[in-house]
Structure 1
C-alpha cells in the first residue's frame, strides 16, 4: 500500500498537466502556473509544446517524452525527481496517459515513491460524453478503434454486451467503412460522432448508425465515437426473422438485401442474422 499526501510530504512531484484539445482559452490558470514553476516540462512533441508555451509566455526547460523513447525517458525523469526537481508531463492535447504516453512513467514514478499529481483540464471523450445525449454513467472509455478490419470486429464484439455507453477515438481514414462495420457487428444502435471539439467547426452527429453513415461528409479530422448500450427489445424469435426474410425475397428482393432490411427493422446484427439464415437454409 502506498499513501501519497501530495502537498505535505516534501517529495519531488510529477505533474500530469491536461492541455487544450483545440481552444486555447481552456488552458487553466493552474496549468499555466505549474508549467511556469516546474523545473522541467516533458512533452510528447516538443514542437507543439513550444507553440503552446510561447502562447502563455512559459519559458521552462523542455525534454521529449514520447512512445518511442518512453522507457529511457522515464528513467531520466526519475533521475530528475531524485535530484529534487519537479517535472510536468504534457501530451499534444488533453490528458497525458489517456491514449497518450505516460502510463509506464506514472507506474515507475509511483514505485520510486515520488508524487504523481493530476492538473485538471480538457478531455475529448468526456466532452463528447456529456453532450452526446447517451447515458452518461456508467460508461467505458476503450481508446482508439483498431485499424485492421478483423481486429476491429473482434474489438467491437469484446465490448458488445457492456451494459453502458462505450467510447472510442478514431481518425477519418475509412470512417464510413468503420461505421458500416459497427452496424454489422452491433446493429443499428444509437451513436454520437463528434469532431473538432471546442473549435469553430465543432460538430455532433447523433442518431442510429445508419442515419449517421448517411450524414457523414467530412474528409479530415479526428473523432470521438460514442456507442449506446444495447437496448432491451421485445425478443423476436429466429423463426419470425426468417419468415420476414423469406417474405422480402418473395417480393423480389435479393437475399442479402432482404437480410439487411430485416436486420435494420428489428435492430439486430446483420452478420449474425446472415449466418443464422444460411445455417437454416
Structure 2
C-alpha cells in the first residue's frame, strides 16, 4: 500500500509537470503608444489606448489606420473584441464616480465610430466584454486601492451575462485567490477560449487566470494560472489560428504588442 501510494503520488506529480503550461513568445512589435490593450482578427491587430485606436498588419506591425476621439466624451477605453468586422471597445469613466460604462463600436476597415451602448451607472467599471454562445459577457471591476463611494473593494468585481438585447441575465463573483492576484486592482482583460474556459488577466502581473462557470453557486471556479510574456491588461486570443492558443498582449511600460503561444512544458 505504501509503495502504491508513493507510485500514485509520483504519477500525479509527473502529470502536473507535463500538463503545466506557459506562454512562449513568437514575435513582438514596438509601437508609438500601447497603453490599454489589443484586439485581433485574421489579418490585423488593433491597439487600444485611452482615447485612441490604431490598426496594424499582423505580418510587420505596419499602421494602416488610426482614430482619436475629438469630442471629449470618451475617457478610458479599456479593451476590445472583433466580431463580424466590428471592433467593440469597452469604455468607462474610471477613476471617476459614480461609475459609468459603455460599449463603443468601430468599423474595423476604417476605425470609424459607428455605434454605442450605454450601461449608464453600474456597480463597477466595465473593463472587458466578449460574445460567446449567443450572449454578451462583461466584467465590471472594483478596486481595493480606490474604493467606491459605497465602500466596494475588488471583491465586488463581477462577470455579468447579458442577452443580445443587453438584458442582464446572470452574474458571478471571482474566486478569492484570483482576486488576491488582481489586488489592489481588478480584472483588465478576458475572453472565452474555444475549450469553453474563461481566460482573464489582471492589471499588472504576467499571468493568465483560467476559470469556468460553477456547477452551482455564484462564484467562478478557478482552473489554473498560465505564466505569460505580456503583462496584465487587455489581451486577445487569435481565433484565426486553429488548434493553437495564440495570444496578443501588451507591455505598457515600453509600448510593445507581444504575440505568444501557450504550450505545455
- TM (norm. structure 2) is 0.28
Larger Rg: 1
Structure with a larger share of its residues in strand: 2
Structure with a larger share of its residues in helix: 1
Higher relative contact order structure (alpha carbons within 8 Å, sequence separation ≥ 6): 2
